[in-house]
């Protein structure tokens, strides 16, 4: 995996021919880059959390939050066919001036952001429907009023929830 850094535009580009990256890999690449003495002039790129011990249930997934207007993107492709690029095995978030979108657009690339969501029961789910639609619309997670929640390693145990017109985020019911 090769990554190219664009410090002026604050873009972290995952170079082709790669078509997926785990949040753990991206976190390691960012931390390695930040630790290099030549990059001491850069703003802090990210905050990371996760791997908290849940006892018998295992550990929480990793969450990477890009800050200070940093974003990531797959390398632009030549086309005319599209390449699917997947961010997997964790959560990728951002706090930036781009509507908190962690991903910069790339030519001839469809992006799948496979966010991890741990829920103990459907009643415990609190969803900001507007944010989910903003991040995941056209990324194969919401179809109409259905939110699909799944573990990256276990797609057989997928759960679907019907969203009640987005008016009441707590009103999901299993489909």
Is the per-residue pLDDT at 137 higher than 90?
no
Residue 90: partners with Cβ closer than 8 Å, 6 or more residues away:
22, 23, 24, 27, 50, 61, 62, 63, 64, 116
Stretch (H or E) spanning 148: strand 146-151
Which percentage of the chain shows pLDDT scores above 90?
46
pLDDT at 157: 52
pTM of the prediction? 0.65
Distance in angstroms (rounded) separating the CA atoms of residues 90 and 88 = 6
Report whether 27 contacts 44 (CB < 8 A): no
Q: Please give the structure tokens belonging to residue 100.
A: 């908190």
Q: What is the DSSP letter of 82?
A: -
pLDDT tens digit sequence for 26-66: 999 999 998 988 888 888 999 998 887 777 767 777 899 99
The more confident residue out of 41 and 174 is: 41
């Amino acid at each position: 995996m090769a990554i190219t850094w664009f410090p002026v535009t604050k873009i972290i580009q995952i170079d082709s021919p790669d078509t997926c990256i785990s949040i753990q890999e991206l976190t390691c690449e960012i931390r390695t880059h930040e630790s290099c003495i030549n990059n001491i002039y850069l703003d802090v790129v990210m905050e990371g959390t996760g791997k908290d011990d849940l006892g018998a249930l295992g550990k929480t997934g990793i969450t990477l939050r890009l800050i200070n207007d940093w974003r990531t993107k797959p390398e632009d492709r030549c086309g005319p066919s599209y390449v699917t690029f997947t961010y997997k095995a964790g959560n990728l978030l951002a706090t930036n001036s781009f509507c908190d979108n962690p991903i910069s657009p790339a030519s001839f690339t469809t992006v799948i952001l496979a966010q991890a969501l741990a829920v103990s029961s459907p009643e415990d789910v609190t969803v900001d429907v507007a944010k989910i639609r903003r991040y995941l619309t056209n990324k194969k997670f919401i179809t109409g009023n259905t939110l699909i929640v799944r573990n990256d390693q276990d797609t057989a145990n997928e759960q679907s929830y019907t969203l009640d017109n987005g008016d009441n985020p707590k009103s999901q019911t299993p489909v």
